Amino acid sequence: MKKLKLIYNPFSGNKSFKFDLDVCIGIFQKGGYEVHPFRSMKEGDITKHIGDMANDYDVMVVSGGDGTINIVVNAMMSRNMNIPLGIIPSGTANDFATYLGFKSGQVEECCQAIVNTKPIPVDLGLVNGKTYFINVCAGGLLTNVSQTVDKDVKNALGSLSYYLKGVEQLPSFEKIPFRITTSKEVIEENLYLYMIMNSAGTGGFSKLSPQSSIQDGMFEFLAIRARPFIELPPVFLKMLTGEHINDSKNILYIRDSYFKVECLKDDFKIMESTVDGEMGPKMPFELKVLPKAIGVFANPKRV
């Protein structure tokens, strides 16, 4: 039989995935896989487990949120594990899984896709030559929202908790001078926040980068320009529908395969970036696209 490693975070989202374990294992076994589950219990144990496990698995499956997926991807890439990745979303926002066509609670559909379809090759981002991400690298204001939202509130309200926390931070917005270097140009401008996107959404916003493709070897750099506070609410409303892309007055939008991001304000309090919602490297940093670096199972109705 082929071997499948199933890694799950029992604390993600509403913590209900444990009730779906038997369904998952049953579908995988019927599909010809010998299933080896691993339950995450504490910070760092997924990385250690993948680092220690035998390199003879045919498929890696992860159930959790975007942060758990990021941990698995980084552990796999650090070991050069060239096996496909299956995702069963069970976190709060599940941005990358949403782009793949899967929603939280669609356990059977996810497992059937893993068993019955072929993985598609997708791009990854690499920051400073050592930190990988599959969905988004972000920085500036609001980008620490996922770390500052109380877990119980996040589980109760889901993506709405991100919006509420973001609105709470709006009065404290201050312009931040950035230097953005791409393979073609250097831009210096005052911004509030930026997002370097692989897929279309993050933080529960599913249409932030509607032109994104996870297979084109390019990332979309999306930033909110430092404009008067009174002009911001309409911009955020446009971001819900994807209409902000055409708002060049308030939005900086660039497509490229390389970015260097520098904050020109030495005392800016949030110098760290975030990668897939987890804490990432401090600015300045360099980022490049690794084209079609990993195979991922997607909903055949979506891709």
Segment 229-261, tens digit of pLDDT:
778 778 877 887 888 888 889 999 999 999 999
Q: Within a domain: residue 123?
A: no
Which of 84, 116, 148 is where one domain is finished? 116
* End position of a domain, from candidates 58, 91, 116: 116
Counted domains in the chain: 2
**Are 244 and 174 in a shared domain?**
yes
Is residue 301 assigned to a domain? no
Which of 34, 108, 262, 278 is an active site residue? 278
Assign 3-class secondary structure to the chain.
CEEEEEEECCCCCCCCHHHHHHHHHHHHHHCCEEEEEEECCCCCHHHHHHHHCCCCCCEEEEEECHHHHHHHHHHHHHCCCCCCEEEEECCCCCHHHHHHCCCCCCHHHHHHHHHHCCCEEEEEEEECCCEEECCEEEEECCCCHHHHCCHHHHHHHCCHHHHHHHHHHHHHCCCEEEEEEECCCEEEEEEEEEEEECCCCECCECCCCCCCCCCCCCEEEEEEECCCHHHHHHHHHHHHHCHHHHCCCCEEEEEECEEEEEECCCCCCCCEEEECCEEEEECCEEEEEEEEEEEECCCCCCC
Q: What is the pLDDT of residue 232?
A: 77
Clarify whether residues 148 and 111 are in a common domain.
Answer: no
Q: State whether 107 and 168 are in the same domain.
A: no
Supply the mean pLDDT for the chain.
87
Same domain, 110 and 146: no
pLDDT in tens, 79-102: 999 999 999 999 877 899 999 999
pTM: 0.87
Round to whole Å and give the CA distance between 75 and 5: 13
Distance separating alpha carbons of residues 126 and 70, to the nearest angstrom? 12
Q: How far is CA 5 from the centre of its chain?
A: 21
DSSP 216-232: SS-EEEEEEE---GGGH
Same domain, 96 and 11: yes
Of 90, 116, 142, the domain-final residue: 116
Mark whether 31 and 105 lie in a shared domain. Answer: yes
Q: Domain for residue 217, yes or no? A: yes
Residue 121 resides in a domain: no
* 137 lies in the same domain as 257: yes
- The C-alpha atoms of residue 243 and residue 68 are separated, in whole angstroms, by 30
**Domain of 238, in residue numbers:** 133-291
Residue 272 covered by a domain: yes
**Distance, CA of 70 to CA of 131 (rounded, Å):** 10
* Shared domain check, 104 and 152: no
Tokens 């019927």 sit at which residue?
A: 30
For 60-81, the pLDDT digits (tens) are 999 999 999 999 999 999 999 9
Looking at the fold, whether 81 and 50 belong to one and the same domain comes out as yes
Over residues 166-219, the pLDDT tens digits come to 555 555 667 889 999 999 999 999 998 899 999 988 877 778 888 889 999 999
Residue 183 is which amino acid?
Answer: S
- For position 42, which CATH number holds? 3.40.50.10330
Considering the domain architecture, whether residues 170 and 75 belong to the same structural domain is answered as no
Give 153's pLDDT tier (boundaries 50, 70, 90): very low
> pLDDT (tens digit, 9 = 90+) per residue, 4-42?
999 999 998 888 899 999 999 999 999 999 999 999 999
Asked if residue 128 belongs to a domain, the reply is no
CATH code (residue 151): 2.60.200.40
Q: Is residue 17 part of a domain?
A: yes
Q: What is the mean pLDDT of residues 127-147?
A: 81
Q: What is the pLDDT of residues 266-282, one digit of tens each?
A: 877 777 888 998 888 98
75 & 168 share domain: no
Domain contains 44:
yes
278 is catalytic: yes
Query: Do 200 and 237 belong together in one domain?
Result: yes
